[in-house]
Amino acid sequence: MPCSYSADTMLSDQHSLHWLKLAANDTPETQRLLGAVDYGLYGDSTADCLVATPVLANFPVARTAWLGRGPVSSGTHGPLHYRHNDDLLFGYLRPESTTNDAGSVGLEQLSFDAYCAIFGLMTATGFPWLARCWNYIPHIHAMEEGLERYQQFNIGRQRAFRQAGQAYLDGAPAASALGTRSGTLGLYFIATRIQPLPIENPRQISAFRYPRRYGPCSPTFSRALLLPFDDLDALFISGTASIVGHESRHPGNASLQTAETLHNIDALVEQANRLARGGGFSSQALQFKAYVRHNSDRDGIAATVHGLLGQDADVTWLEADVCRSELLVEIEAFATRPVQGTPP
């Protein structure tokens, strides 16, 4: 379908990974489409994957798409649907496979099963490295069998990593984990054939080493991760919040939490530039998704983001619950940089 983004799509022709932000119903050219994701509360999404987070701008749905080099093949594997090319595997949990949540199957088991399916698919298709995971957990703060559902998720996720022999400490994938207020467990991911370079934040304790007071089982993610493709370095910055060391900072103050979060992102960009072959990542040039807990905080958070990063900062605004109840905002980011010697 022709759309105003076709020029962008053409530019991405030779690139191993490209992220597009689209308007609702824009369909990128399918030859190189790895996955399209809609964010919003609409039942009529035609994307692969619909995430039930309201969008806090003027678009009812924020569609995003991951493109790689063609040709792409697709299939299903248990509860997953996937597409892959020679470099990348994109997969997501089919919503009809998780309707048991809040029914007979608990979230821990559902998360375990989902990640076991991911690792099984990676083996079957020959993609050994899980690089980036997006996790959307309905009613993330609700209690289930005496534990917060985010903790149930952490237990099931880590159990699957350990059973599959996947890195659950150093080398864990970059990730985001957000709460939704409707829908079923949502999960999509990218796996690779090249080994990612994990990045930690010197300002924060690694999440996989959080002390036990945050839950019986630590979250399984790296703060960021760099993918060294032959033509570009791709940087995935995990969901980042106002945490210094292991403690939440500035409870109750969304603007200060936002500034602290961007400080953490700056620190990750600095680490990434030490590893990146061409360097040159900058916080101003990242593509952001900001998850805001309360719609009423959005203007204050946006003023802080644009005050620190400039009016042109590229942000998709979504409403979601962040996994610690005192955290009011979580921000994730993506960017690519050409490798020195290759044209941009």
Q: Which residues are catalytic?
A: 330
> Which one of 77-85, 163-171, 233-241, 254-262 is the stretch in contact with ligand 3EB (CB under 6 A)?
233-241
Q: Identify each DSSP E strand in 98-196 by its residue range.
A: 129-138, 143-144, 147-148, 174-180, 186-192
Tokens 């996994």 belong to which residue? 323
The minimum distance between CB 133 and ligand 3EB, in angstroms, equals 7
| 331 is a contact residue toward ligand 3EB (CB under 6 A) | no
| 23 neighbors 7 (Cβ within 8 angstroms) | no
The minimum distance between CB 221 and ligand 3EB, in angstroms, equals 4
Tokens 């036990």 belong to which residue? 212
| Tokens encoding 65 | 């798409």
| Tokens encoding 237 | 């910055």
| 242 is a contact residue toward ligand 3EB (CB under 6 A) | no
User: Residue 189 or 221: which CB sits closer to ligand 3EB?
Assistant: 221
User: Residue 207 or 333: which CB sits closer to ligand 3EB?
Assistant: 207
Query: Interaction with ligand 3EB in 203-232: which residues (CB under 6 A)?
Result: 207, 219, 221
For the residues of 215-238, what is the DSSP string, one character each? Answer: -SS----BSEEEEE-SSEEEEEEE
User: Which of 97, 151, 222, 238 is the binder for ligand 3EB (CB under 6 A)?
Assistant: 238
The minimum distance between CB 332 and ligand 3EB, in angstroms, equals 7
| 20 neighbors 67 (Cβ within 8 angstroms) | yes
| Tokens encoding 328 | 């009011």
In sign, the C-alpha dihedral spanning 330, 333, 99, 146 is negative
CB atoms within 10 A of CB 320: 27
| 314 neighbors 287 (Cβ within 8 angstroms) | yes
The minimum distance between CB 95 and ligand 3EB, in angstroms, equals 20
Partners of 50 in beta bridges:
38
> Which one of 25-33, 98-106, 174-182, 255-263 is the stretch in contact with ligand 3EB (CB under 6 A)?
174-182
User: Residue 5 or 136: which CB sits closer to ligand 3EB?
Assistant: 136
The minimum distance between CB 296 and ligand 3EB, in angstroms, equals 21
Contact partners, residue 163, CB within 8 Å, separation at least 6: 116
User: Residue 98 or 154: which CB sits closer to ligand 3EB?
Assistant: 154
| 239 is a contact residue toward ligand 3EB (CB under 6 A) | yes
| 323 is a contact residue toward ligand 3EB (CB under 6 A) | yes
In the complex, which residues of this chain contact ligand 3EB (CB under 6 A)?
Answer: 135, 175-177, 207, 219, 221, 238-239, 241, 243, 323, 330
